[in-house]
Amino acid sequence: MSGIYGIYRYDGAPVDPGWMERMKAAMAYYGPDGGGSKIDGPVGVGHLLLEVNPEDAFEKQPMRGERGWVVCTARLDNRDSLLEAFSIPTSQAPEVPDGRLVGLAFDRWGQDVCQQLQGDWSLAAWDAKERRLLVALNACGDETLYYYAAKGFVAFASSMKALLALPGAVKDPDFLRLAGVLVCWNSDPERTAYVGFRRLIWAHKMIATSDGQTRVGRFWSPEGRESFRNRRDEEYLEEFLDLYRRAVRSCLRSGRMITVALSGGRDSGSVVTLAAPILASHGRELTAYTYVPFFSPDGAGKWRLGNEWNLAHETAIMAGPNVKHVAIDARDYSVIQGIEHFLDIHDGPSHGTINQYWCQAIADTVSSSGSRVLLSGRTGNATVSWSGNGSALMALIQGNPATALRLFFQAESNPWLMLKRQILKPVLTPARRFLRRAGTPSESPWRSYSALNVHLAEELNLDAKMREHGYDPTFTPSPLTDYRPHFFSPDNNVGASIESELAAGHSYAHMDPTASMSLVEFILRVPDDQFCRKGELGVLLKRAFEGKMPHEVLYSRQKGLQAADVGHRIVREMATFRDSLDSLESVPAARDVLDLPLLHRCLKELEAKVDPDSTDRAESILLRGLGVGIFLRRLNDAASQVLPSPC
């Protein structure tokens, strides 16, 4: 997608054009098709354009409306309803970009504009009369927005690079955030790898006022939906498919080649199944990319599928003859270079380090193809293929006795499983969590899967903070917790930002129709018994796509492991890995944050044997640790290159 950036000097000083230029230069790759900026006294706003859909050619930002200046990135799912709301004739619609609709929406609804927009969007809107800046991010989508509040001003940008480029910006690592990456916990989802640089998260807006106050709050929440009642099964199926098909169609407006990341699973497979016939009706092709292991997928255990090509190919064939299926084996890509590339793009480490080399390979392929759209089903686990909680007791606690009764008698395939899952499991879950903790070598379960230095954990009081936030480091699921809203919690926004930033770095837009707001709102209200029946999970999608997708894909119980050959790749790069680990010994911060001897031991385990256990430790300990270590090494190198000021 496109990018935005800007500054508000609430101290009343005019914005320095040099600051705006530095921000623009740092994130210039967001705007291969141009852009613009405007300084109006204490406010400066800028836009960088990536043309994706036909109407984007008419985009002219910043926009001056009745209230003030607006910049945004937008691919709106409710475009048609907004065109109607603003009485724009059908004949003029092709020349009205989504950004223009966002500007008109701000003029009409002001600070309440966020509730009127659906799709992928971010915006900054200056209300000249109220002397107030609104910065906001979509409720569930693939956009990013960062902000930095300092003395006298607040700045925002789609890319962290723009904020790091500001004069005087201090680039100190946030050790709690880095510890969270290593133990797979977001203590505060607004935290970034740098102290003071914040991430605006899903469904949140920030308002900065002339008195220097910046207030961040939520404008949408997944909680509190009342379940649908007295509906027939067919009604759920019809509405589900109608909403899903509309969401997919909204992502296909680009006149360029459409691509999709296709795994062997149900989520991306259902996207392909819906997208292919829509494109075929216009004589167009859909290109699907599937990662296949170059080496033997020895990292996949019994319940993991290390090579998803066969299942993905069956989906591609069944979807239609206009699907071109392409295997990406990333044979020439390095695991360490993937980590380096990710840090170049994201300006901070991530817990998903194991996948970065093959994600880079697909991103490069999409970019070189000339496509401006990569579809995925990233959010599908929480929406289209939601498995269901399956707990009659939880449904009863939530005040849905009819659903509870149906679940009790219909969710399981036999009386023993009904007793086990509906009664024994809720009762025994606290004991399971206790036993998992007792099975770890200390009171800190994360020590078995993290490279975090225990001394830093003690300084941060990490275990106490986890308990305070209700975080369970044993990952023991509770049958009395409704996980549907959890998927849309701020914690999960971090993964979405990674996808969109990778796309921006390669001049295309990542689009996920499974995250459509109308679809999300529908799924949140569907009773749980529509997802769990006779021991089968994710029943709604399976029934909806029966006969449309391969039976083996719909009913597979194996979860894909795309990086199942990563152990052999690391062995191929053994000398480089050793050099990288050795280089961290001279970085004080890396020694403080990481258990470096443990990283070396994980590397030796892979050298001795590549199997599911050594691969799992490589993912959770070695690669996450190395991602954090390389980030700290870069900071250390940058600091050492800063020359002292002359006297």
Residue 424's pLDDT is what? 62
pLDDT, tens digit, 9 for 90 and up, residues 518-541: 999 999 999 888 998 887 889 999
- Residues 336, 339, 340, CA angle at the centre, nearest 5°? 90
Amino acid in the structure at residue 531: F
What are the two backbone dihedrals, phi and then psi, of residue 139, each rounded to the nearest 5 degrees? -70, -30
Task: List the one residue out of 552, 600, 608 whose CA is nearest residue 577.
Answer: 600
Q: Do residues 353 and 335 make contact, with C-beta atoms less than 8 angstroms apart?
A: no
Stretches where the chain sits below pLDDT 50 are 643-647
Residue 322's pLDDT is what? 98
Q: Where are the alpha helices (DSSP H) in 370-414?
A: 392-397, 401-410
Three-class secondary structure of residue 408 per DSSP = helix
Domains and CATH numbers, the chain: 3-218 (3.60.20.10), 233-386+488-560 (3.40.50.620), 392-481 (no CATH), 573-640 (no CATH)
How far apart CA 290 and CA 399 sit, in angstroms, is: 43
pLDDT, tens digit, 9 for 90 and up, residues 246-270: 999 999 999 999 999 999 999 999 9
DSSP 15: P
Three-class secondary structure of residue 191 per DSSP = strand
Residue 162's pLDDT is what? 98
405's tokens:
């009764």
pTM of the model: 0.93
How far apart CA 536 and CA 557 sit, in angstroms, is: 10
DSSP 448: G
Q: How many CB atoms lie within 10 A of CB 94?
A: 11
How far apart CA 348 and CA 352 sit, in angstroms, is: 12
What are the two backbone dihedrals, phi and then psi, of residue 221, each rounded to the nearest 5 degrees? -140, 145
Three-class secondary structure of residue 479 per DSSP = coil
Q: Do residues 75 and 121 make contact, with C-beta atoms less than 8 angstroms apart?
A: yes
Contacts of 355 (CB under 8 A, 6+ apart): 562, 563
Three-class secondary structure of residue 119 per DSSP = strand
Q: Do residues 581 and 618 make contact, with C-beta atoms less than 8 angstroms apart?
A: no
What are the two backbone dihedrals, phi and then psi, of residue 324, each rounded to the nearest 5 degrees? -95, 115
295's tokens:
């080496």
